[in-house]
């Protein structure tokens, strides 16, 4: 008997409806469940699209029935049969619930060993087990649908960009090593022993060279590699929707990307709470939310209370203000009854945690009837000062106010964490809702822990033109960049900038970063040289496809939107990578591995 093949398959397992009754069909898929009644066997047949119940009846053939009784979970089969009505036994649980297929012929393509864990949405094997048998985990409809949704989104993105005149161009993954930024994965060169490629952190330099090359509009679904500790939303290798456009300014890029996101989400039936996306400056984001990626699904902005604090009559606030502390308040609308003394104590412990920012304490006030406060410092506030604070924070009867005073960096971080924490506590974060915004005018530079000035974005970012003269001054910390981040639901899903195309400006920026002319030549000489041969002004963007995929699928972990993810220690539990390699290979590369404890 010849095996059935794809051309014989008449329908997928989600296709059949009552209107198909009496047709003869051939289905192929995996045995998702088997219910054996001796004289009748029901099988849930699952393929990528869904599930159809097939039924083996003794009246048809005893041989067929006994074959059906040997079927086990995840056997791969084809069946030929007739679509019949399920009558009173119809179910709403599956899309094909009105019908079933009465089997006339069964082909078993392959049998499955007993499974290490059930292939079902409602059974949670440990992550370790799921990753070891990732091909089984991927059969679970929940994960499979994530991968399908991601594919549909990527497909939309490609179409959108191509229709907007973009060319999809690949750039090298094995690139020149440059220090700074993320730690690189290194690839040793056999032919040039002792030399290394780096795996690209991003296609940044190549896409700028493509602009010099006159490609005008480039995009790529590009893998990027960064040897930094993974997180819930971060993997060692990840994917960016990377694009660059000549003659474009920041609004051209933001409009393009915004259209891509709005329509891409819309194509999946997902709509944004805000359209168009608001733009706020980095400064305003820090002032209102204490961070550069605020979650705007809920309001609860921070209010800076420095001048109030200085004359508040509250000793700790007045002295904090004198010492140059930043004092911020946040007003929780209503739900006052949920802030019991115990809850407030827990919030106080929360803000004191080091990873939350390590505040010294948390001031709280409950706005009661007749415009009075109760709370930690209420007795110290005059009626006039109380009313002033109420006005500043727009608090009403039934609201609750929290105040933190500390070093600016601590206050921002603590109040950011507190705002998110309160939103989660009050169930204001619905992952079916989407709220996006642009954060613009990032600083050009920041100081790292060693006190060195480093780029916030990257060294090719164009400063705000009016700030160019400040680049080599003491106030370079105040220089703002033509850089923008796209933030959705508190996730930084992408960022970009206008690039420098003027050699003098580029030289000044390198100088501000403490990169000498010689070093600039050594690291980026090829780029600077390219820019001498006619470079168009250009700007670009890179969006994190994995994080976007998490948002569109509602996945909690980046692992749930990547077919073969790595663990938090960078291991691939399915293949066992990374592994030692054979001595011969190391010898060819001229590499000696040191013992681990050296």
Which residues 523-552 are close enough to bind RNA by CB under 7 A?
Answer: none
Q: Which stretch binds RNA (CB under 7 A): 110-118, 267-275, 318-326, 575-583?
A: 110-118
Cβ 97 to RNA, closest distance in Å? 7
Interacting residue with RNA among 48, 234, 385, 421 (CB under 7 A): 234
| Residue 149 contacts RNA per CB under 7 A | no
Binding track over 168-187 against RNA, x by CB under 7 A: ------------xxxx----
Which has the closest alpha carbon to 28: 42, 41, 39, 14? 14
- Over its C-alpha atoms, the chain yields an Rg (Å, rounded) of 30
Which has the closest alpha carbon to 187: 595, 598, 585? 585
- Considering only residues 453-492, where is the footprint of RNA by CB under 7 A? 454-459
| Residue 447 contacts RNA per CB under 7 A | no
Q: What tokens appear for 457 in the block? A: 């974005």
**Residue 42: what are its φ and ψ, rounded to 5°?**
-105, 140
Q: Given the complex with RNA, which of 118 and 368 has the nearer CB atom?
A: 118
Q: Given the complex with RNA, which of 127 and 187 has the nearer CB atom?
A: 127
Binding track over 323-362 against RNA, x by CB under 7 A: -------------------------------xx-------
Q: What is the 3-state secondary structure (H, E, C) of 328-392?
A: EEEEECCCHHHCCHHHHHHHHHHHHCHHHCCCCCCEEEEEEHHHEEEECCHHHCCHHHHHHHHHH
- Considering only residues 288-307, where is the footprint of RNA by CB under 7 A? none
Binding track over 567-596 against RNA, x by CB under 7 A: xxx-x-x-----------------------
Cβ 518 to RNA, closest distance in Å? 19
- How far is Cα 508 from Cα 515, in angstroms, rounded to an integer? 10
Residue with tokens 């613009």: 440
- Contact between 469 and 277 (Cβ < 8 Å): no
Cβ 453 to RNA, closest distance in Å? 10
| Residue 110 contacts RNA per CB under 7 A | no
For residue 276, whether the previous peptide bond is cis, meaning omega lies within 30 degrees of 0, is yes
Q: What is the 3-state secondary structure (H, E, C) of 399-458?
A: CEEEEEEECHHHHHHHHHHHHHHHHHHCCCCCCCCECEEEEECCECEEECCCCCEEECCC
Q: Which stretch binds RNA (CB under 7 A): 52-60, 268-276, 344-352, 582-590?
A: 52-60
Q: Is the dihedral of CA 380, 385, 389, 395 positive or negative?
A: positive
Secondary-structure percent of the chain, ordered helix, strand, coil, rounded to 5:
35, 25, 40
Interface with RNA: number of residues (CB under 7 A): 71
Indicate the pairing of strand 76-85 with strand 99-110.
Answer: antiparallel
- Considering only residues 1-40, where is the footprint of RNA by CB under 7 A? 33-40
Cα 70 to chain centroid distance, Å, stands at 44
Q: Which stretch binds RNA (CB under 7 A): 287-295, 331-339, 451-459, 524-532?
A: 451-459
Cβ 409 to RNA, closest distance in Å? 10
Q: Given the complex with RNA, which of 266 and 557 has the nearer CB atom?
A: 557
| Residue 144 contacts RNA per CB under 7 A | no
DSSP assignment string, 534-572: ----EEEEEEEHHHHHHHHHT-SSGGGGSSS---TTS--
| Residue 554 contacts RNA per CB under 7 A | no
- Considering only residues 192-211, where is the footprint of RNA by CB under 7 A? 201-202, 204
Cβ 153 to RNA, closest distance in Å? 22
Angle at 425 between CA 493 and CA 394, to 5 degrees: 90
Interacting residue with RNA among 19, 116, 273, 391 (CB under 7 A): 116
Cβ 456 to RNA, closest distance in Å? 5
Interacting residue with RNA among 15, 26, 90, 221 (CB under 7 A): 90
């Amino acid at each position: 008997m010849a095996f059935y093949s794809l051309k014989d398959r008449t329908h997928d397992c989600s296709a059949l409806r009552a209107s198909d009754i009496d047709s003869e069909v051939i289905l192929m898929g995996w045995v998702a469940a088997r219910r054996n009644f001796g004289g009748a066997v029901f099988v849930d047949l699952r393929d990528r699209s869904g599930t159809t119940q097939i039924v083996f009846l003794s009246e048809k053939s005893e041989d067929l029935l006994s074959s059906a009784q040997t079927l086990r979970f995840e056997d791969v089969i084809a069946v030929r049969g007739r679509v019949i009505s399920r009558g009173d036994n119809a179910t709403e649980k599956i899309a094909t619930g009105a019908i079933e297929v009465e089997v006339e012929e069964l082909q078993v393509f392959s049998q499955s060993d007993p499974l290490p864990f059930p292939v079902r949405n409602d059974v949670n094997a440990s992550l370790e087990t799921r990753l070891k048998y990732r091909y089984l985990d991927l059969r679970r409809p929940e994960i499979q649908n994530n991968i399908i949704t991601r594919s549909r989104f990527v497909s939309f993105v490609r179409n959108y960009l191509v229709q907007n005149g973009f060319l999809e161009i690949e750039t090298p993954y094995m690139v020149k090593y440059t220090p700074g930024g993320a730690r690189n994965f290194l690839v040793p060169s056999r032919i040039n022993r002792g030399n290394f490629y780096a795996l690209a952190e991003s296609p940044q330099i190549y896409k700028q060279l493509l602009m010099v090359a006159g490609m005008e509009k480039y995009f790529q679904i590009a893998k990027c590699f960064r040897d930094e500790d993974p997180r819930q939303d971060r993997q060692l290798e990840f994917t960016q929707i990377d694009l660059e456009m000549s003659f474009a300014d920041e609004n051209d890029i933001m409009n393009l990307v915004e259209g891509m996101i709005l329509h891409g989400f819309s194509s999946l039936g997902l709509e944004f709470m805000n359209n168009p996306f608001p733009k706020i400056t980095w400064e305003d984001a820090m002032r209102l939310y204490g961070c550069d990626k605020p979650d705007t699904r809920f309001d609860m902005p921070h209010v800076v209370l420095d001048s109030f604090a200085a004359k508040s009559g509250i000793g700790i606030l007045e002295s904090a203000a004198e010492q140059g502390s930043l004092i911020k308040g946040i007003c929780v609308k209503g739900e006052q009854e949920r802030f019991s003394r115990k809850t407030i104590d827990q919030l106080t412990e929360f803000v004191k945690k080091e990873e939350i920012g390590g505040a010294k304490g948390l001031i709280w006030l409950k706005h009661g009837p007749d415009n009075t406060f109760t709370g930690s410092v209420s007795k110290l506030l005059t009626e006039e000062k109380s009313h002033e604070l109420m006005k500043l924070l727009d608090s009403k009867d039934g609201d609750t106010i929290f105040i933190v005073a500390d070093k600016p960096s601590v206050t921002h971080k603590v109040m950011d964490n507190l705002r998110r924490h309160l939103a989660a506590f009050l169930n204001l974060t619905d992952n079916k809702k989407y709220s996006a915004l642009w954060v613009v005018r990032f600083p050009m530079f920041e100081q790292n822990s060693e006190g060195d000035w480093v780029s916030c974005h990257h060294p090719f970012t164009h400063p705000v033109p009016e700030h160019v003269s400040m680049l080599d001054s003491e106030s370079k910390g105040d220089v703002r960049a033509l850089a923008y981040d796209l933030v959705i639901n508190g996730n930084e899903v992408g960022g970009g900038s206008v690039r420098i195309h003027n050699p003098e400006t580029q030289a000044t920026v390198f100088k501000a970063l403490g990169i000498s002319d010689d070093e600039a030549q050594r690291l980026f000489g090829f780029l600077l040289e390219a820019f001498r041969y006619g470079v168009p002004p250009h700007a670009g963007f890179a969006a994190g496809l994995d994080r976007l995929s998490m948002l569109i699928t509602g996945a909690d972990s980046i692992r749930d939107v990547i077919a073969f993810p790595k663990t938090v220690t960078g291991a691939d539990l399915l293949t066992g990578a990374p592994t030692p390699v054979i001595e011969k290979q190391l010898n060819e590369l001229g590499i000696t591995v040191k013992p681990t404890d050296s």
